[in-house]
Amino acid sequence: MHDSVRNGFNAFSEPLESREHMMYLDVKSLVSTGVGNLLDADDPENFGSNPVPLPDTFTLDWSDRNTGAPADRAAVEDEYRKIKFSGTANAPTSQKRAIAQLLVSDASIDGLITTKLDSFETSLRGRPPFTGFDDWPAPGQLGLLSMAWAMGPIFRFPNFEAAAADGDWQTMARECRMTEAGNSGVVPRNVRNALLFTLAGWVASQGGDSTDLVYDPTVPLDANLRSGTLPVPLNLLIGVQTALETLGFDPHGLDGIAGPGTRGALTAFQTANGLTPTPGVSGIDDVPEETVAALAAQLDARGVARFP
């Protein structure tokens, strides 16, 4: 992977997963730690019942939260089972922290992240749709690794994989969406992944330095869109939001989510430009082509870069 991707991965992932120093039960009832690092190889046929932690669990420097004493293997196994069967998958983080007795250091978490990231890269590069991974623009590499981080590197998205094999970045941006039903926490990752694949297409079209991440993971998503260094991605809802804000129609945030502010700004723009209002949009597919074309024309008139 490009150095910019390796160096930016933690900054990109932590706002999406948070960094936790204890074992906790995630929304899928899997034991995790660190920045969304699974410690649990649950059996899909007996979901929620796996009493045995992954070997990675025992490579970490677990210690007692009160005394700081190193935890032995038996203590780690006991902690894992306590968390596994705690029923706290949907509990607030404060409750998950309250029941955890063992903690792990930042250095140990960082080592685990690096090991898993390298392992995921190796797995992805071995899959036919992604054999060109080494030559992908940096935003595309980060987007793919982000998907693997959330689902594992053997995920199956046929339309996405076919687009990846063809180097069709816009289709990849559309088809990378992970299921959000029952897991609203994946929404921000979906928004960012789609943006990353779009930016990969933009970088590829420019013919410049493909190793530059372009997207700055150390600043918030909306700051990236307002930075002036990225084109407005009109194939995405967050790009429509950005265009509306740029043109003076405030969507009340750039988050890629079709809330009341976005709907109000969109219908105000449509009404002001003699277009058919669409007050019920829930995603980019609900935004009429004529509206996108009008946004594009007005951005062009102002000299604001857009893509596509």
What pLDDT shows up at residue 48? 57
Distance, CA of 24 to CA of 73 (rounded, Å)? 18
Q: Mean pLDDT check: name the lowest of 25-34, 198-207, 210-219.
A: 25-34
Nearest Cα to 7, choosing from 219, 192, 148, 213? Answer: 213
Measure Cα distances from 14 to 47, 149, 217, 270 in Å: 27, 12, 10, 37
H helix runs in the chain, sequence order: 3-17, 73-84, 93-99, 106-125, 138-151, 158-166, 169-175, 187-206, 221-226, 237-246, 260-272, 289-301
Burial class (CB in 10 A: 0-12, 13-18, 19+), 98: exposed
Nearest Cα to 22, choosing from 73, 76, 74? Answer: 76
Assigned token pair, 256 = 């890629």
What pLDDT shows up at residue 45? 52
Q: What's the distance, Cα to Cα, between the start and end of the chain in Å?
A: 26
pLDDT in tens, 36-87: 998 987 555 555 567 788 888 999 999 999 999 999 999 999 999 999 999 9
pLDDT in tens, 163-180: 999 999 999 999 999 998
What pLDDT shows up at residue 41? 77
What pLDDT shows up at residue 181? 82
Pairing state of beta strands 102-103 and 232-233? unpaired
Averaged pLDDT for residues 10-18: 93
Give, for 25, the enclosing helix (H) or strand (E). Answer: strand 20-25
Distance, CA of 131 to CA of 129 (rounded, Å)? 6
Task: Report residue 96's pLDDT band, with 50, 70 and 90 as the boundaries.
Answer: very high
What pLDDT shows up at residue 43? 55
